């Protein structure tokens, strides 16, 4: 397979942007900006090309909320390269990213973003030279994440960044002022910014800052549990910080009795992640949904947000399934594949492998999925892959066998030598297992 020709890739993207924006400009409106946005990517998996949009000065003047929200612009292109080239470049980019380790995928994605910054600068220059746009017009890359500011700084000059995106410097000034305060005072200010519309700091940044403050933030977060719209956020952050002091557990226990709906679900999940599932299980008159949420929380991606996630431990889940068989189906539904599992670390691999022998299918399904994590590295892969092949051949649950094949597929070339297991699975009694095995073999043959 030929590698990705980065120069040709960049040239074709530039040409695509220029053609589409020039077409839009020919309608006679003065264009304010064009934007590349909505980049979809799965770590170690597919990488998509961004959508392209253009907005006129008149549109922006009529509705400032449209500014830098490309999906809300009147003019959008979801595929803006010549026919056939779009999917060809997406496939070539994905193949290049996935041909080696997960670190190579990350480096390839970073290089891809760098290419897109150059595409923005070159397209802007060419459109100005062609007379299609004016000097104030810009082409920008919008990723709506922590990387966006640095990407924009590669595209725009300092003055332009301040003119078009003044919020970055304003937020930096506010943050610098807050960081000069005592930690307890900072916690109070960041807690106020948790609400939607939380000023220049923003809710996500406020959550991150409170998490970083650690135990210093506990008093203000326990206060938030008492009332207001941010009780669920307070519960989540208490779990993220992971400090199960008597005061924290007492506050969560009180909130469990006083909250309902989503707030109560988050409070129960926080108690569970702080190793106090017992409080949830003895609480009277809790809805089954709340109990199931608490039991499932340590095995979901909720766990990964913690500053120091607790080690994977299936024993509380197995005890619950044994003691509360009437809720096993609800737990299985909550922990169904695709429900966003936790990501395990190398030191947890042994626990996940041991769980492959659990008498409970939901435990085996979870463990077989979290073992399909190629970022654990090749050394761990040599330990994990034989276990997954054994599951494909021997597990009595067809769903678990199918998931084991998918995990082998996620290990990519590291599991190529296990193709015979896939061929054996072509004779599985379950048609879904057979179909999954065939797709894996087809991928191996490419």
291-335 pLDDT, tens digit per residue, is: 999 999 999 999 999 999 999 999 999 999 999 999 999 999 999
Residue-wise pLDDT tens digits, 267-284:
999 999 999 999 999 999
Residue-wise pLDDT tens digits, 192-224:
888 866 577 888 889 999 999 999 999 999 999
| Contact of 51 with 24, CB cutoff 8 Å | no
DSSP 45: S
Nearest to 266 by CA among 296, 246, 243, 245: 296
CA gap 67, 60 in Å, rounded: 6
pLDDT of 2 above 60: no
CA gap 296, 286 in Å, rounded: 16
Residue 340: what are its φ and ψ, rounded to 5°?
75, 80
CA gap 47, 216 in Å, rounded: 40
Please count the other Cβ atoms lying within 10 Å of the Cβ belonging to residue 180: 9
| Contact of 172 with 137, CB cutoff 8 Å | no
Nearest to 207 by CA among 173, 184, 240: 240
DSSP string, 345-391: -GGGHHHHHHHTT-S-HHHHHHHHHHT--GGG-HHHHHHHHHHHHHH
Reading the block at residue 172, the tokens are 């930096």
Rg from Cα positions in the chain: 26
Nearest to 77 by CA among 29, 162, 19: 19
Q: pTM (2 decimals)?
A: 0.85
pLDDT of residue 171: 87
Q: Tell me the CA end-to-end span of the chain in Å, nearest whole number.
A: 9
Residue-wise pLDDT tens digits, 348-383:
999 999 999 999 999 999 999 999 999 999 999 999
Please count the other Cβ atoms lying within 10 Å of the Cβ belonging to residue 62: 9
């Amino acid at each position: 397979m030929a590698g990705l020709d980065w120069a040709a890739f960049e040239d074709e993207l530039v040409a695509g942007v220029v053609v589409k924006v020039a077409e839009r400009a020919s309608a006679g409106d003065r264009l304010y900006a064009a934007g590349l946005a909505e980049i979809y990517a799965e770590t170690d998996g597919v990488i998509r090309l961004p959508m392209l949009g253009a907005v006129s000065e008149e549109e922006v003047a009529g509705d400032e909320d449209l500014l830098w929200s490309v999906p809300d612009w009147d003019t959008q292109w979801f595929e803006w390269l010549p026919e056939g080239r779009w999917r060809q470049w997406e496939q070539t980019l994905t193949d290049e990213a996935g041909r080696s380790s997960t670190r190579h995928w990350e480096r390839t994605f970073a290089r891809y973003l760098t290419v897109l910054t150059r595409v923005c600068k070159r397209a802007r220059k060419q459109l100005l030279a062609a007379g299609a746009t004016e000097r104030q017009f810009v082409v920008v890359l919008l990723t709506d994440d922590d990387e966006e500011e640095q990407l924009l700084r590669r595209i725009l000059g300092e003055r332009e960044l301040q003119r078009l995106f003044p919020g970055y410097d304003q937020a930096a000034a506010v943050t610098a002022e807050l960081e000069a305060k005592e930690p307890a005072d900072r916690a109070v200010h960041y807690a106020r910014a948790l609400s939607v519309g939380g000023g220049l700091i923003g809710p996500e940044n406020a959550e991150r800052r409170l998490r970083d403050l650690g135990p210093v933030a506990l008093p203000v977060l326990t206060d938030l549990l008492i009332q207001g719209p941010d009780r669920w956020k307070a519960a989540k952050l208490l779990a993220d910080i992971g400090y199960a002091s008597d005061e924290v557990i007492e506050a969560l226990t009180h909130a469990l009795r006083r909250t309902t709906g989503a707030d109560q679900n988050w409070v129960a999940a926080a108690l569970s992640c702080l190793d106090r599932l017992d409080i949830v299980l003895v609480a009277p008159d809790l809805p089954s949904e709340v109990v199931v949420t608490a039991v499932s929380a340590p095995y979901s991606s909720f766990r990964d947000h913690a500053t120091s996630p607790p080690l994977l431990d299936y024993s509380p889940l197995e005890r619950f399934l044994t003691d509360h068989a009437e809720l096993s189906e609800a737990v299985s539904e909550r922990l169904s594949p695709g429900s966003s599992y936790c990501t395990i670390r190398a030191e947890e691999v042994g626990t996940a492998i041991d769980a492959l022998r659990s008498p409970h299918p939901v435990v085996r399904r979870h463990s077989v999925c979290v073992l399909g994590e190629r970022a654990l590295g090749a050394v761990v892969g040599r330990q994990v892959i034989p276990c997954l092949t054994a599951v494909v051949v021997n597990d009595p649950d067809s769903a678990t066998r199918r998931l084991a094949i998918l995990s082998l597929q996620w290990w990519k070339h590291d599991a190529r030598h296990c193709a015979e297991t896939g061929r054996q699975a072509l004779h599985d009694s379950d048609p879904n297992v057979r179909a999954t095995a065939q797709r894996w073999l087809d991928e191996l043959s490419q």
